[in-house]
Structure 1
């Protein structure tokens, strides 16, 4: 960096014209040194310095030969840099190029001209970076081998028990919804860890294949070697925030540059079912908390893959599993708790004609979300203590009572007609009890062993779907709200503001924007500490929420700054 500063100072003192040999020799040596560092260093952090050293040589030539008309050469330099580098490199480079013209910038005759030149150069850098970044993401569509996809996709089947047509039907029925769930999970991971792409690789023959990705499969070309291949051999997680594409092979090729790679094994017990990878064009993109979060997602993905493996076995063993498959597939992709409750009750009634009740755990009570039978009263929240179904909650085990004619105590926390037999299943997910499913009938012994097993599997699916729905809601909240104040974050604020501005261009209704900050907030932090500062931020956020309407959009703009978008409100109404 010192060499660049000295070269730049020499340029400002007209050394290229007065002392050309030493200046150009020194600037050339500096450029060569940074080019070697740039192209051979694993860190690959000298891109701005390397490009700036080239710009210095151009500036020296212009200065030495007094060719002022050559200064537009900086524009193709910036545009060319945009082809190979991201905006994090090109935009700082354009600022540094402006510094090359610092000497003539403050001359009265050329001041406005230099200001216009600098603004144009900076605008060119931004526009070209955006265009080429978008182009890099969309270019090049590659096609993987159809034979490889077909071979990898077909699950193991008992060819003696089903024919080819049944095998194809079995494949699409069991895989379609699971593919959607895995895709949704990968998309959730991508937004949660701010990755460029997230991929799920599975073992295939002596190597591995791409099972699912947040990108188009044709955009990811698997090489079968490199980091991912080594991970499959060691069964260990891998992380590097300093990937050098020239000397390191990741194991797959994609359109965008990869500077950080995280690979996490997806384990089914002691068996490796695949690897979950996340990549980014930013160096050191995945911190330790992010890596821990990805480990959690990998465990969840393992459960999805395990469930996918179990379902075909159940289909081969039980011809009646078609009903379970149809109803479970409906639950797989659902992210709404009320819809999950409805689908579970409807599916259970197809397996056995009865009354179905779905309760959701809510602290110490249970809320009745959906039911297909008749109940007395309009109450929806119940304390299950004293009711028969509470035994299943306390023991966390399914209970089937085939004959309850002589049972005198309360079966349900409400009156639901004559109950002669009942089946209670607590929905368990990772040692937690998110809900309770109950089936009752006026007939004794209304379920056989097979039906009970079907209901248990479907309820396990429902428990996983409930966990998915809650996880989706939590991730959506984390992605849109500020963790401290609960207001919308800066990203959502910008999106909402853009939408509001578009409305203003079409409609004549007024809108107002309020920007506010907390005076002397730094003094509060310095005097009373950051915990007290956090309390101040929370209280101010509470005041903002209480002061505006439900349709308004409050946001934490950053630090102690807040903003609020007031739709259909003029300046008087905003004040």
Structure 2
């Protein structure tokens, strides 16, 4: 290895050209997803450095091989780093052959090789942890999406499919736990915790540690993070007397606290702690902020779950009760089904009135009334306001009203819903729901009741039309008596009864003399 000294210019030019060729081939291979020629590339660089040391006779610069090996271990595995360290030690082979190996060379070679082995093992472990973290993060991303078609739910019934979907959505604590474990691996933290506001303090929602290992003490850095809605880590505040807000087994030398914000709303605080000094810097802070977006998505699905469940159950009731309403042409049955369906939407007392001219007939109710009659005049009552205005009426608080609410005495009414049953702007009836609780209906429930009442109005109109058509088909339009077809049906029915029973039957034929004269003189109305 005397060429750097005897022929420095050709040697360095040749070495630089070799390093350029290997670097070109190496980085081209990296872009294609391979890491071939890594050892040749690194060795060509170290060879130039070794030549410079030899040419300048600065043997003390050999110590720079140690940080070089550590840095290279970050990017390359042990299959590259350990052979590289062996090649570096071979630079002194000529000295060894000429003079024999000394203690200094033995110490240098063994230390360099040991550094290569330890660095390779440490950074190989870090790479494995990173791969696991990325794999877990991918799982969380996939779980956060809606359940895709083809997941095996096609064979389920409609109710089972919805239950399957909602159950998969509400694995909130499991998903948060998986996310915290991923953050722990990514930040190389000892523990990661998620705290949520609770009254004037905070409580532990989830943690990577076992139950009971994290004890909330209140105040401290977490309380400050909740108050200011900012991110803190231990380097920003005095270390002496640092109060965190929780205690755990083991020492805490570094802490990162990130405010979890959904827009301007504070959801909680994500913390990561470590026994290593200054373990969290700006890159770890940015990574923690990235993970909070996934945490917000998980918590958002948790918040909308009750609303989805309520909406689904409400629509299911609406579908079932609408089917019941259109399946009957009997007004009494329609009234009963409407009251039953309404009670499924909101637990209360239901009353169904049918319009009979200026009066209203109560044909079905589920409340307690103290009246025996069923015909009522609504004038002077609160519910008559809905009749006069021909619009729905909902009062969430009736405690300040002094006028009569209903046309009869009933249980205490604190809130009431009144819906006129209209069909083509004609009032057919009135549906009333009352409760002893204030504000017993929300907007969604009111919308469901409106749809059911509109369906009931159509069904009542159809029932009345059917009754009218049936009347026209069976009675005489002039006299209102049964027509000839009904007479024949009744006569045939009685004659069939004669074949089964021994009872007698009589048929009377009655005629009025000179009735034509009365008819011609006074007309048909007489």
Both structures adopt the same fold (TM-score exceeding 0.5): no
Larger radius of gyration between Structure 1 and Structure 2: 2
